[in-house]
């Protein structure tokens, strides 16, 4: 399956609630590459690279465990990189 890379911006109550840890653990379990970090404006930014099915599973799990709704998530497809692991910045 073809891989893609998506940049996500999560807003709402996403800092200080274990969001980065949850994203890290789920991405690692799914074999997704990329990173996640807190941003000074209170949002969390994440770049995730994997198949469409893997990225859908990551987003579904974060929505479920972090109680996110679609209006709290912005996303855009960006160019692939040669990253092989997921990490917290």
Annotated active-site residue in 5, 7, 28, 38: 38
Cα separation of 37 and 87, whole Å?
Answer: 9
Spell out the domains of the chain, with CATH numbers in brackets. Answer: 3-88 (3.30.70.100)
Indicate if 72 belongs to the active site.
no
How confident is the model at residue 47, as a pLDDT? 98
H/E stretch holding 87 reads strand 86-88
Cα separation of 62 and 6, whole Å?
Answer: 15
pTM of the model: 0.92
Annotated active-site residue in 5, 20, 72, 84: 20
Per-residue pLDDT of the chain (89 residues; tens, 9 = 90+): 799 999 999 998 777 778 899 999 999 999 999 999 999 999 999 999 999 999 999 999 999 988 888 899 999 999 999 999 999 99
């Amino acid at each position: 399956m073809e891989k893609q890379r998506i940049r996500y911006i999560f807003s709402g109550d996403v800092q200080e609630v274990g969001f980065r840890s949850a994203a890290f653990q789920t991405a690692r379990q799914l074999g997704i590459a990329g990173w996640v970090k807190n941003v000074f404006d209170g949002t969390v930014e994440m770049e995730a690279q994997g198949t469409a099915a893997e990225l859908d599973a990551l987003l579904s799990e974060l929505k479920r465990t972090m109680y996110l709704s679609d209006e709290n998530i912005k996303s855009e497809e960006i160019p692939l990189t040669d990253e092989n692991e997921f990490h917290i910045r």
